[in-house]
Amino acid sequence: MAKPVSIEVWNPNGKYRVVSTKSMPGTRWINLLIQQDCRLEICTEKKTILSVEDIIALIGDKCDGVIGQVRGKAFSNMAVGYNNVDVNAANKYGVAVGNTPGVLTETTAELAASLTLAAARRIVEADEFMRAGLYDGWLPHLFVGNLLKGQTVGVIGAGRIGSAYARMMANGETPVTWKRASSMDEVLQEADIISLHPILDKTTYHLVNKERLSKMKKEAILINCSRGPVIDEVALVDHLKENPMFRVGLDVFEDEPNMKPGLAELKNAIVVPHIASASKWTREGMATLAALNVLGKIKGYPVWFDANRVEPFLNENAQPPAACPSIVNAKALSLPVSKL
């Protein structure tokens, strides 16, 4: 028998049972659920990742909706990606799968731009040097990095986030020219900076591998704020060791939360713990959208007509639309679409 999982309960007499596998930022998402007669159970286990046994014990035999890890009539990721969900299985059992696009575009692009600047100017190395008490005074050769002005930036996956990153990198007084590359290899060979923003599926798994790394410039900068398995991390570690002027900025990892052996020791790698969406407004907005996806399915609401325009759901001074912000398998489940 599975060990009971610790929970925090809101509105214990609510008609609809909604489970959140993790505590989420803010309180608006909680209030929106309990105002609509939901009993909300929030897992308070001190675990980053719940086991299958934990999830079964948490959710039990009857549940109307889940935020976090899938089961029930409706499920929503607190993320824009949903490669962690077996959507085909969800379709088979009639489970609506929600995600949270439109709210984390600028925040994620901002971190990608920050990692680019940090890698180019060797900011993390300089910070460690300073904290270690090694700074004796200014020297001409101390932490010389790359000037980004005039360099070629390549974006692989120019969707919402990739396009926002490109706008940030192009912001300045110098006139900008751009072109659509004929192939990924052209981007790899010509760009000084490459930022990865594709979805993760069978076609993008290990998109950047040993062969493609070898095509890049020896002093190039590679940024990944998309999904870890887009890069063959073992090949990346070898490439960084062989090319000390090559730099990388990573927010995601192939075997997250673990890094491949050797990566943490490399000075030409900047690694941060999946914080691309980590602004207060963005994370609270993601929690709100995830909750409203589940609530909308429970209430029988239609799917919002445009997942790129989620602002009406995020306005704290107004009641959100009677719709699910974003259901990725809405078409497969033949769910109605809002006419608003």
Among 309, 291, 307, 311, which residue's Cα sits nearest to residue 299? 291
HSE value, Cβ hemisphere, 13 Å, CA-based, for 289: 30
Which residue in 17, 39, 227, 283 is the catalytic one? 227
Question: Any residues with CB less than 8 A from the CB of 54 and at least 6 apart, and which?
Answer: 2, 5, 43, 45, 47
Rounded Cα–Cα distance for residues 270 and 118 (Å): 8
> Is 141 marked active-site?
no
> Is 227 marked active-site?
yes
Which residue intervals of the chain are DSSP H helices?
A: 28-34, 52-59, 87-93, 105-121, 123-131, 160-170, 184-190, 210-215, 233-242, 280-299, 311-314
Which residue in 45, 106, 190, 256 is the catalytic one? 256
Residues facing 64 on adjacent strands? none
Residue carrying the six token digits 């549940």: 63
- Residue 38 near residue 20 (C-beta atoms within 8 A): no
User: What tokens appear for 336 in the block?
Assistant: 């109605």
Write out the catalytic residue numbers: 227, 256, 274
